[in-house]
């Protein structure tokens, strides 16, 4: 089997497409292969696997962990479909505040590599969706942060305007608030105070 990494507009954010076999019995896929993924510069040491189930209209994110416990994620949807969105949180980066989106489904079997300096969110598009993801660090409550899903300075074109949110996500910070105490700063960037939206 072969895996292909599709570059996106954000550094380190990759769409992974892996060959799979499907017949009358079902399907088979090697969704993670350390040596093969390393050939696409995905050399993370994954230490935790997470699995969430959401009903239609549930939106989770944007979530991240700061530099005290940075977490990269390899995300896939194993049931239903989700719109998965990633935003660059490196203050001073040329792509700071920009986002990319990809639909992950149980049929297309695409995966999304999310580097630690990005916020990650997804919206459930099907009646039910299971999202499973490998993490390069352990869940650390003291390191977690989140940004508002509907921040106009990010400007994601979500297909649903009234999603179901957790209390935490309803109280998320704006990008402008994040800039006051950023979790990630682009190497060689100007001071955060000099960066404007």
Please list the active-site residues.
63, 133
Q: Which of 120, 154, 150 is nearest to 52 (CA)?
A: 120
Concatenated DSSP letters of 147-179: B-TT-TTT----S-SS-B--HHHHTPBPHHHHH
CA 76, CA 189: separation in Å to the nearest integer? 32
Please return the burial class of 106, using the count of CB atoms within 10 Å of its CB with bins 0-12, 13-18 and 19+: middle
Q: Which of 87, 68, 59 is nearest to 175 (CA)?
A: 87
Distances (CA, A) of 60 to 120, 167, 169: 8, 11, 7
Residues across the chain: 197
CA 85, CA 153: separation in Å to the nearest integer? 15
CA 94, CA 91: separation in Å to the nearest integer? 9
The tokens describing 95, both together, are 């792509």
């Amino acid at each position: 089997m072969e895996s292909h990494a599709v570059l996106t507009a954000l550094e380190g954010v990759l769409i992974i497409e892996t060959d799979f076999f499907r017949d009358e019995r079902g399907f088979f896929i090697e969704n993670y292969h350390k040596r093969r993924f390393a050939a696409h510069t995905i050399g993370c040491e994954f230490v935790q696997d997470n699995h969430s189930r959401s009903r239609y209209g549930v939106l989770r994110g944007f979530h991240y962990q700061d530099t005290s416990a940075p977490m990269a994620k390899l995300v896939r949807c194993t049931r239903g479909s989700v719109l998965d969105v990633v935003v660059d949180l490196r203050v001073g980066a040329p792509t700071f505040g920009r986002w990319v989106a990809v639909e992950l489904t149980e049929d297309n079997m695409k995966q999304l590599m999310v580097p630690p300096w990005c916020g990650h969110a997804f919206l459930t598009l099907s009646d039910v969706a299971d999202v499973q993801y490998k993490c390069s660090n352990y869940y650390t409550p003291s390191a977690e942060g989140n940004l508002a899903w509907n921040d106009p300075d990010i400007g994601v074109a979500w297909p649903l305007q009234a999603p179901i949110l957790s209390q935490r996500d309803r109280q998320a910070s704006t990008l402008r608030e994040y800039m006051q105490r950023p979790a990630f700063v682009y190497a060689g960037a100007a001071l955060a105070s000099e960066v404007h939206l």
